[in-house]
Amino acid sequence: MAKTVNVNVHHVTRVEGHGNIVVNATDGKVEKVEWQVPEAPRFFEAMVRGRSYEDIQTIVSRICGICSITHSLASTKAVENAMGIKVSEQADKVRILMHYSEQLQSHVLHVGYLVAPDLFGLPSVVPLAAKAPDAVMAVIRLHRLANEWSDLIAGRTTHPVTLTPGGLTKFPTEKELRELLERLKNCVADLKAVAEAVLSAASNIPDFTRETEYVSLKQDNPPTYTFYHGDITSTDYDGAVSIHDWQSVANEYMNDQSTAKWTKWHRESYTVGALARFNNNAPLLSPMAKDVAKMFGLAQGCCNPFMNSVAQIVEAVHVVETSIALIDELLTTGLKPETVKVSPKAGKASGCVEAPRGILFHQYEFDRKGNCVGADICIPTNQNHAAIQQDFEKFVPEILDEGEDAVRLKLEMLVRSYDPCISCSTHMLNVQFVR
């Protein structure tokens, strides 16, 4: 039976930042469906103008308290590309290890604290602790491990201090790496416990699909399920685009219902994040990660946005298994001291990495003294806004008969499945005052 529904969620909960859901339908006719973003721009691109290349990472890591390592890595890579600075193989491996710590940290937080309550029919993680105590304790242990892993490699849990253009100011000792290696091996049981707990409630994952384009990094040499190196690819494109041409992929534009810019490439929207990486790179996952994907029936070509959270569980297993191999490599070759010396020069270039919630682009231009004269940053959540809107438009008519409360809950779950970091607004505005 067709329903009259009025949903007005002013600030969706259990997401980072502020986003609104508006749905109006009368006698089964949908009159308005909107995903609104009211966040204020934070002007990071303006803040870095005039600052030294040495200060960029420290400033832009503050864009996000969850993805601070990711923003630091993308900006540092952009500085290095602009000035032709080379990084040693050893520093490259340790940076990837640093990046993996944040992937685990963010994925466990999102699935364990923000998504799992929906699947168990609970309002938050607090009652979930009583209903599934073993699973919640496993999530807490994994989150603590990821935080302390970041402390070791990045110098802090958030806003890293060991990164510098050309390398790192401090490397972990072999003793510290051996201790981390043992902790990673021992956490596999907790990863399996979390996967099994989510699987036990997986029947509550909405059965919704919308075909769209999935965009992520892709690395062919060597073939890698990459978060750090590679070019841009998509499920609609057989080739690869250089990360330096990312503006031709993002095609940013303004929308009246959002203070954040939206993006599109081959369709009216595209999706980034764990499911996009999975759809473009799944054959390159680690063996245990492939097993977890199989547990959930997750296969390449999946177009159910709610399965992004399952892809995050798969990736959490992958980064742990891959990090174990990476630490073995570092210990086999032995850690060597490095001295970084950089001579600033003029240049303009981009840096790109995969944030936990999708592909991230930073671009900077410097004068001959190494002072920043321009910046352009495109965050993953902004690249997902158009996809969320298009999901709403397809999903609402399919669930309208379920009533207002169900429509509200399922749309909130849909937004949360994207793991949005809405307050990562970075763009500056050119304002003309009319007097």
Tens-place pLDDT, residues 105-159: 999 999 999 999 999 999 999 999 999 999 999 999 999 999 999 999 999 999 9
Residue 202: φ, ψ to 5°: -65, -15
What is residue 410's predicted lDDT score, i.e. its pLDDT?
97
Bridging pattern class, strands 231-234 and 20-26: unpaired
Calculate mean pLDDT across residues 296-309. 98
Give the percent of the chain with pLDDT over 70. Answer: 97
Helix, strand or coil, per DSSP, at residue 38: coil
pLDDT at 294 over 90: yes
pLDDT at 430 over 60: no
Calculate mean pLDDT across residues 294-321. 98
Task: For the chain, give the number of residues.
Answer: 435
- Lookup: tokens for 391: 């999901």
Q: Tokens 């500056």 identify what position?
A: 428
Q: How confident is the model at residue 101 (pLDDT cuts 50, 70, 90)?
A: very high
pLDDT at 426 over 60: no
Give the percent of the chain with pLDDT over 90. Answer: 91
Q: What strands, in cross-sheet order, belong to the sheet with 372-378?
A: 347-355, 358-366, 372-378
Is 45 annotated to bind a ligand? Reply is yes
Helix spans in 84-221 (H): 89-109, 116-119, 125-131, 133-154, 174-186, 188-200
Is 421 annotated to bind a ligand? Reply is yes
Residue 58: φ, ψ to 5°: -60, -40
Is 427 annotated to bind a ligand? Reply is yes
Calculate mean pLDDT across residues 271-297. 98
Helix, strand or coil, per DSSP, at residue 169: coil
**The pTM is what?**
0.96
Is 352 annotated to bind a ligand? Reply is no
| Amino acid at the residue 204 | N
Q: How confident is the model at residue 434 (pLDDT cuts 50, 70, 90)?
A: low
pLDDT at 2 over 60: no
Specify whether the backbone of 284 is left (phi greater than 0), alpha (psi in -120 to 50) or beta: alpha
The whole-angstrom separation of Cα 365 and Cα 350 is: 9
Give 287: exposed, middle or buried? Use CB within 10 Å, 0-12, 13-18, 19+: exposed
Helix, strand or coil, per DSSP, at residue 323: helix
Bridging pattern class, strands 231-234 and 237-241: antiparallel
Is 64 annotated to bind a ligand? Reply is yes
pLDDT at 1 over 70: no
Calculate mean pLDDT across residues 391-410. 96
